[in-house]
Every structure is written in C-alpha cells, then in structure tokens.
Structure 1
C-alpha cells in the first residue's frame, strides 16, 4: 500500500503510530499556515474610509432618528438608482449623490450589543480577534473585520438596530417616490414597481435571506477560475448579523488605473457572472455597485453583497430567451413585438410601426446584435439613460405607452448599471460571442481564453 507519495508499501508494525504523528505534524503545520494566512488577509483588509466618531449612532433611538422618516429607504433607493449618474444634469447627480450617502457608523458599544443580542455573546467572546472600528458604514449596516475562534479571517456585517422597522414603515408610503415616473411615462403603472422594490428592499433587511442568496451563488460558482463568492459562516450569522469569509482585492477605483487588457478581463468576468447567473442559475444579483466587487489583476473578481437578488421563475427566464431569440438571433421584429406585448411592456394596440419599435428597443440589445468586437463608452451609457428617462427626446410618444412588468424592474439594472461600469472601464470584447456561451439556447463553445479556462467548471455543471 502506498503512503500517498509514491514511496511503496509501509510496514504494518507501528504504521498507525507513525501515521498519527505525521498527521499531527501536518495539522500543526497546516494550522500555523492557515492562521498566518488569515492574519495576513485581516491585515490586508484595511479600513477604506475615515469614520467620524462624533457622528456615531450610540443607541437604537439614534438609528431611527437618522434613518427613519423615509431617509433610510431613500438611501437604499438612491443606491439602487446609482446607474443614473451617467448622462444626467449636474443638479440631478448632486441630488442622487445625497441619496447615496452612507449613514453614520454605530459606536463600538452599540455594534457589540447587536452582536451579543443576535449571537448570544459579545464579539470579544465569539472571535479570537475583533476590530471595533468598521471597515465601512453602509446604508443599513456596517462591516467589521475579525478572526474566528478557529482562525478564519471574516467580515461581520451588523445591521443598525431599529433600521429594519423604520424602513419597513417608510416603505408603506413609498408610492410617493415614484410619482415622478408617471410624468415621464404616462402609461406606466407604478404599483407593480413599488411592490417589486418593496419586496426586494424588505428581503435586503433580512440577513438570513441574504445568506441564503450568497450560498446559492457560492455553491453555483464553486470551482470557477475567475468568479468567487465568500463562504457564509452560518454559526456566526443571524437575521441582523452576517459573517462571511473576508475577501481582499483591488477596488474599482484602483482598477480604473490598470492597463486596458486587465480592465477588459475584469469586465468579462462581471459580464459572465451577471448573464450566466440569469440564464444558468435563474437569479440576478441586482446591485452592480462598484463597491460590491474586489478585483485581481488576472481578471478574477470577488462578488460581495447578495441582499438585493432577484430569483426568476422558469416562465420569466423563458420569456427573456424568446425576446432575445427574436431580436438578436432571428432578427424577427414582428415576433419580438409580440413577445413585448406578452411580457406586458407594450400595449397590443400601441399605434407604432414595427420599425419604430425596433428603433427604440435596439439600443438595449446593441452590444450583442453583431458578431464583432465592441467597446462600451460613456456616450453609449448616457444614451441608455436618455432612452429611458428623457421624456422629450426621440421616441417620446412611444415611451408614453411603455410599462415595466415586475420581472424586469431589477433586471433593468443590467442595461443601466453594468453598462455604466463597463463604460468607465472602456471594456472591449466580442460580447455577442461571450453571450452565446452563456445563453442555454445557443451554448456556444468557449470564445476567449477565460472561457477556455472556465470550460472544466462549465462541464461539471452539465454533469
């Protein structure tokens, strides 16, 4: 019997004792290596912003005062609408930036009290090492770095106490937020949009639901050479605390200074993750915020924050496939139009020719319409914003009759959010060929080096 290193048979006498000693040595060596690695990750995950101690939220009452009365809900909606930064007037961008502003951080004592209430003990007892100063404060919570008792570097997201109740109450009157949309789109029924966003925001307040989303994506992409999702630590998570593997990498701002070929690779990874998830996992992580990614120079991306995830039904995914096939594969505009009607986007009696319908919707499929290399530009991203939100420009009359069904509310962030990010990166590729790898109805062979490297993972899914 070989000992696993090709050295032949091991004498029977004393084999168990020797094996135990070797195993113990390996465990101690492996343990020391893992601990050193965890501490290096902990050290590398530096705090990304200076937090103002004078603005700290020290009690749950402070949270409600700061984030209640629609302010917390507006922050979330402002973040969800962050793709509008491109192509809007300066005054609008300024207002939007105010909506996206982070909330003040919790004081260390308040954050620790939330952990103790949720997990049954304070951080000092639960973790071997705990950083009382958060990495960053977000709209509904903040993240601390820590090392678990068994030596794993982790990120601990703590929700502000009382914010869930405050925002849930605010969302009861969220319809007022969307009144302006009725001016832009008289044919729009805001009720489904309000309900869809209310459901997604309510889910985002439940960290157990977010953990379920994160596990879904982590399991699906396990083994992928470029896509990674941090592991959730269930024993250190609850409805208001989410603990996961601590990830490190370059920020989006750093990536903007990288050579173009590296920017192209990270864009391809995000593209594969987003569209592959929709058509292979039937789920979409609907918050393509640049702060939700960490990057490696080889094109690898760590995907963070799975609070805003839309899971699609088989019928909804089939509808997307039929629209894509009609518009992109077959270029059958009458059939595409009938699918738009069936999806609830366009009234059956809309008084517009097929040519007019094609001219308006082509923009949203333009980057996959032709088998050629294309570059995302700021002009293209801005044109997408104008195509939807400019009530006086081209196709203004057609936009007056358009509606947005619930299944497309979050999905629309691909057309606006991802394209905005790709425009900043100047991302260049043959997006049609990559898309045909990801679409189940085309299932094309790999078309890029990244696709070739991911082929074993792709084949494992099929098996």
Structure 2
C-alpha cells in the first residue's frame, strides 16, 4: 500500500519469532487468525500456525502477590502445598500444581496482571492491521471477524465465566464415553484465578507416538468431545489447540481449558445440518436457506456457488459412508488450494462479509480436522456424524440448551 517491497516469507517468519516469546492476547490473536481461512495471506498462516501457547512463566514473588490479591494475604493456608514453579504458561495466565488441605491434587490457573488493558490495546492494533489488509484485498470484509474475536477474548479474561463453562461441559458430556472434564473448586476460584481438580494425562502426539494403534480411538473421542455439545446443546469449543487437552492411560480425553466457548442459536445448528443435506443431495434452495441461517444474508447464486466450494471441503469427510483417512480430501495442500480458489472467486464476485457465527464454528472444524490429520486416523466419520444428528430436532435442542445455560447462570446465545 505504501509502495515498499515486502518479502512475505521472511517477514512472516520474523513475525512468528517475535510473537513466540510474548505473553498476552497478541499471541492468542495470532493463533486464532492462523486457523481462519483467508483472514491472512498464506505465508503468514504457515508461520503463525506454528505458535504454541508455551510462554516463559512468571516467578514466585510475582505468584505470591497475585495469589494474595485473589484469595487474601493468608492464601497459603488454604493449601497443603503449592508448587512455586508453573506447570504450564500460556498467553493469558499460568498454571500451578497445588494440593488441597484434604490431599486432593489441584490445578490453579492464575491470570497475568492488567490483561484487560492488554486485550483492548491488541484489539486496537488488530483493527488497524485488518484495515490495512482490506485496503489491499477486498475479497474478505473482516469487521465481523474482529467483533467476534474481541468478544471471545474478553470472555476469556473472566475466569468466573470459564468456571461456568467448565460446569456446563461436565453436564453436557456426562455419560459420554472417552471424555473427562475436571471439577471446578469454587471456593478457591475468583474472576482472575480458576482452580480445578488436577487430571493426569499426556500430550496427544506423545501418546500416539508410543501407542500408534490408539489413533482411531483417540480421534473418535475427540470427535465426541467437540460435537456432542454442539449438536445436542448448540455449544462449541472454539479452540482445539493441542495444549487444551491430554490423553489418559485408558485413551480417554481430558478437556482442560474452557475460555473460548461459543453458544449458537438452535436455528444456526439446524443450518449446519441443512447445509450438509443440501450438499449431499445437490439442493441449491436448501443451501441458500442454510447460508441465511449461518448469517450470510441473502446470498446470490454466484456467491452460493463460491461458498459451496469451501463447504464441500469442510463437509467432505462425512459425505461418504465408509472408514477413511481425513487427508483424502482435507489434506494441507488441498486445503490451501481450496482456500486460494475461494479467495479468488470471492474477489471476482465482489467480496463478502464473514458472519460472526462462522468464525469460531469454522475454526473449530478446521482446527479439529488438523488434529485428525496429525493422528492419521481412519474412521467412518459419516457414521459418527449421523449417530449425533439422526434424531435432531430444533425445539428439543432449544429446550435442552435453555435448561443447561440457566443452570449455570449463563446468558442465552447472541
């Protein structure tokens, strides 16, 4: 835009290097953008997708001050033990192992100070970045993407809300095989401190390296962990980041983080299922109606054809009733080619404003798909999907969702 040559490959690598050592929301924003197709050029996506939420932890003097500000000056008496060194450190806070007076193992997630100001500052910078991007490429309007990212990031700062989300997930996944949600310890939690039971587990890729025969079982557990809440309650976990779950010895999944949760209108969930049916039966009218439910307004015939290119890529694994590896149609190279084709077509038809609802639904689908790619799992995705949606009914979902949200004092979907 300024007439200055920019070597995207080198600049993107330097950007990842700079962001990789940061704490704060900017690293999380980078992770989000790297999984939203066409939000950034592919050179940046390739580099930013390598960011991991594994920043250096803050020291013990800092931890003591922060814990005192959350639980009071006598906070150490509330624990039998509290490890001085963080077990994990991420973009917004760090986790310490602890032990309750009764001997229960605990995980205490402590937020870094002044994160609210940091979030707002980074969102202002992101708005500027998006404005520059749109001046150079009008295929995608980013205003709803920015609004949605801002809303979810602000929610992630509220650990009391995350505690409600964790309890919601314990309810939604109660009785679902292969998935565990740790219990919240309410009297040791505040708006900036979240204490939960400690659950033992290994990183999924480390587990698979030692147990390659577990690939398919782990993939099915992950599928249920993400999509049982969505199709039965209209709730999606918007962050399938590898650090947000671990694998237990029995191959079940521990869900560990509940900051990035999105609740959808039941009508939107119906639109997701209707779009699947439209693609399967080549029903253009049903596709148009589905896109309206997704928030795409009144799409033209040309725009529907472009959107269907991406939809066929995302839905491909569940369109055939057979066991299959997900990379048959959802491999990295094919996904990049599809995204580039969609981007070019969007420019041709005049661009599009991505609806808010699309952002984290698509991110969850693409992020989870990348996990399945890494697992190299071969599963009948069609059967898993139909097992969840076979008895779908909007009124039933609405009643179930309303009761579950009310039980946790959570607001209805936006």
TM-score by length of 2: 0.80
Question: Is this contact kept in 2: 1:287–1:308, CA < 8 A?
Answer: yes
Question: Is this contact kept in 1: 2:107–2:195, CA < 8 A?
Answer: yes
Pick one of 93, 118, 124 that aligns with 2:46: 93
Pick one of 191, 195, 209 that aligns with 1:239: 191
Unaligned regions of 5+ residues in structure 2, if any?
Answer: 1-17, 394-403, 405-414
Listed as ranges, the matches of 1:350-389 within 5 Å are 350-351=301-302, 354=305, 358-377=308-327, 380-383=330-333, 385-386=335-336, 389=339
Q: Which residue of 1 aligns with 2:269?
A: 317
Pick one of 375, 378, 381 that aligns with 1:428: 378
Q: Which residue of 1 aligns with 2:396?
A: none
Listed as ranges, the matches of 1:271-350 within 5 Å are 271-328=223-280, 330-341=281-292, 343-345=294-296, 348-350=299-301
Structure 1 position 222, deviation (Å): 2.5
Pick one of 401, 404, 407 that aligns with 2:354: 404
Question: Is this contact kept in 1: 2:314–2:330, CA < 8 A?
Answer: no
Corresponding residue pairs, total: 372
Q: Compared with structure 1, are the counterparts of its residues 318 and 374 closer, same or farther at alpha carbon in structure 2 (3 Å cutoff)?
A: same
Question: Is this contact kept in 1: 2:181–2:256, CA < 8 A?
Answer: yes
Structure 1 position 421, deviation (Å): 0.9
Q: Compared with structure 1, are the counterparts of its residues 144 and 135 closer, same or farther at alpha carbon in structure 2 (3 Å cutoff)?
A: same
Q: Compared with structure 1, are the counterparts of its residues 353 and 164 closer, same or farther at alpha carbon in structure 2 (3 Å cutoff)?
A: closer
Question: Is this contact kept in 2: 1:347–1:401, CA < 8 A?
Answer: no
Question: Is this contact kept in 2: 1:279–1:317, CA < 8 A?
Answer: yes
Structure 1 position 422, deviation (Å): 0.6
Give the structure with higher Rg (CA). 1
Listed as ranges, the matches of 1:23-102 within 5 Å are 72-83=24-35, 93-95=46-48, 97=50, 100=52, 102=54
Structure 1 position 280, deviation (Å): 0.8
C-alpha distance in 2 between matches for 1:130 and 1:148: 9
Q: Which residue of 2 aligns with 1:213?
A: 165
Pick one of 146, 149, 162 that aligns with 1:197: 149
What per-residue deviation string (whole Å, max 9, x for no partner) do you get for residues 235-280 of structure 1?
0000110000101112123133144430111111111111111111
Q: Compared with structure 1, are the counterparts of its residues 313 and 89 closer, same or farther at alpha carbon in structure 2 (3 Å cutoff)?
A: closer
Give structure 1 regions of 4+ aligned residues with deviation exceeding 6 angstroms. Answer: 88-91, 391-394
Q: Compared with structure 1, are the counterparts of its residues 258 and 179 closer, same or farther at alpha carbon in structure 2 (3 Å cutoff)?
A: farther
Q: Which residue of 2 aligns with 1:119?
A: 71
C-alpha distance in 2 between matches for 1:415 and 1:339: 17
Question: Is this contact kept in 2: 1:123–1:130, CA < 8 A?
Answer: no
Structure 1 position 165, deviation (Å): 2.3
C-alpha distance in 2 between matches for 1:141 and 1:433: 39
Coordinate RMSD, CA, aligned: 3.1
C-alpha distance in 2 between matches for 1:298 and 1:184: 51
Q: Compared with structure 1, are the counterparts of its residues 393 and 215 closer, same or farther at alpha carbon in structure 2 (3 Å cutoff)?
A: closer
Partner secondary structure for residue 176 of structure 1: helix
What per-residue deviation string (whole Å, max 9, x for no partner) do you get for residues 81-104 of structure 1?
45479xx9677534554x656433
Unaligned regions of 5+ residues in structure 1, if any?
Answer: 1-65, 444-460
Q: Compared with structure 1, are the counterparts of its residues 368 and 384 closer, same or farther at alpha carbon in structure 2 (3 Å cutoff)?
A: same
Question: Is this contact kept in 2: 1:127–1:149, CA < 8 A?
Answer: yes
Pick one of 166, 179, 187 that aligns with 1:227: 179
Structure 1 position 441, deviation (Å): 4.0
Question: Is this contact kept in 2: 1:148–1:154, CA < 8 A?
Answer: yes
Q: Which residue of 1 aligns with 2:138?
A: 186
TM-score by length of 1: 0.72
Q: Compared with structure 1, are the counterparts of its residues 394 and 89 closer, same or farther at alpha carbon in structure 2 (3 Å cutoff)?
A: closer
Q: Compared with structure 1, are the counterparts of its residues 358 and 223 closer, same or farther at alpha carbon in structure 2 (3 Å cutoff)?
A: closer
Structure 1 position 149, deviation (Å): 1.2
Q: Is 1:249 the equivalent of 2:201?
A: yes
C-alpha distance in 1 between matches for 2:377 and 2:348: 31
Question: Is this contact kept in 2: 1:265–1:298, CA < 8 A?
Answer: no
Q: Compared with structure 1, are the counterparts of its residues 406 and 148 closer, same or farther at alpha carbon in structure 2 (3 Å cutoff)?
A: same
